Amino acid sequence: MNSTSSTPVAAAPDTKPVRSALRQELGTYLGLFVVLVAMVALFSSQSEYFLTRETLLSIANEIPALAVMAVGMTFVLIIAGIDLSVGSVLALSAAVSAAAILQWGMGPWPAAALGLLVGVVCGAVTGGISVAWQLPSFIVSLGMLEAVRGGAYLVTDSRTQYVGDAMGALAAPWLGGLSAAFFIALLVVVVGQMVLSRTVFGRYVVGIGTNEEAMRLAGVDPRPVRIAVFAITGLLAALAGLMQSARLEAADPNAGAGMELQVIAAVVIGGTSLMGGRGSVINTFFGVLIIAVLEAGLAQIGASEPSKRIITGAVIVVAVIVDTVRQRRAARHA
């Protein structure tokens, strides 16, 4: 009696969730690009000077500080945290670098390194306090916002410190009129996206924001990851301070005041979830461009300051609503 044997065939992996996530990501890219193009077209129709080389170069050379800070904030929001102190860290880091050059006799590069170190320490303190005492990062960073700003006033004696072209290499035109800071910002965006999407650390960041308890049960201690995220955010805020100081040739203790709201707005417009667990550095960069084009366009068409604030606020609210609707639809189709 003949018997036939059959070899079990492994079931093909279900690629539907992957395809759905890819479609959603591509849809987000396309949506942000369409919004950006529409805004450029709108402002170009209202001002003959908007779509010019001078205006576009001005926008490109003004966004590096906002862009690098937004990369750090993307990581913070993905772990379901928030850092309101980035604007103050920007000011303190620039102030320390200026003091190192003007008062302590240090060269530009050692002074820049000291400023970056200050940013790392500020971020690590924020993250460390939040983790050690299990406090909301909103409250801790709010306290750091005031404390660090006070430090900037102390270091500068409450006066703007003019550093001249000591850091001029960052702001000097490098290629086609674009500053070195612009290309550094692009590099930070690319590296940030690679770290988030292609490294173990990036997977830990997303996992902690999605379900911290599950990560803990899987053997991953979320505490050092959280502290590292805040330290990186502080480092990037310090880098933004050096960029702004180079562009203005001065360290202002009031620099970056309110900039944390711009940073959060850019990240939210880029689709990063305020609830954590989802975000993209590339999308954040689109958000930065949208904020920059919006501000430049409103300025060129002569919008008043109150009008600009109202319109910018409305754009942020709409972005949050769109993101919420998109998440609910994705959840229904999951």
Which SS3 state, helix, strand or coil, does residue 179 take?
strand
pLDDT at 332 over 80: no
266 Cβ contact list (under 8 Å, min separation 6) = 66, 70, 73, 284, 287, 288, 290, 291
Per-residue pLDDT reduced to its tens digit, 258-279: 899 899 999 999 989 888 898 9
Q: Is residue 140 part of a domain?
A: yes
CA–CA separation, 235 vs 70, rounded Å? 12
8 A C-beta contact, residue 276 and residue 80: yes
Q: Is residue 18 part of a domain?
A: no
Say if pTM beats, i.e. exceeds, 0.75. Answer: yes
Q: Is residue 27 part of a domain?
A: no
Domain count, the chain: 1
**pLDDT computed for residue 292 by the predictor:** 94
**pLDDT computed for residue 266 by the predictor:** 93
Q: Is residue 325 part of a domain?
A: yes
Query: What average pLDDT does the chain have?
Result: 89
CATH of the domain at 127: 1.10.3470
pLDDT at 12 over 60: no
Phi, psi of 218 (to 5 degrees): -80, 0
Q: Tell me which residue range forms the domain holding 118.
A: 51-333
8 A C-beta contact, residue 155 and residue 103: no
8 A C-beta contact, residue 290 and residue 39: yes
Type of residue found at 14: D
Burial label for 248, CB within 10 Å (0-12, 13-18, 19+), is middle
Q: How many percent of the chain have pLDDT more than 70? A: 91
Q: Is residue 15 part of a domain?
A: no
Q: Is residue 161 part of a domain?
A: yes
pLDDT at 1 over 50: no
Q: How many percent of the chain have pLDDT more than 90? A: 69
Per-residue pLDDT reduced to its tens digit, 44-59: 999 989 989 999 999 9
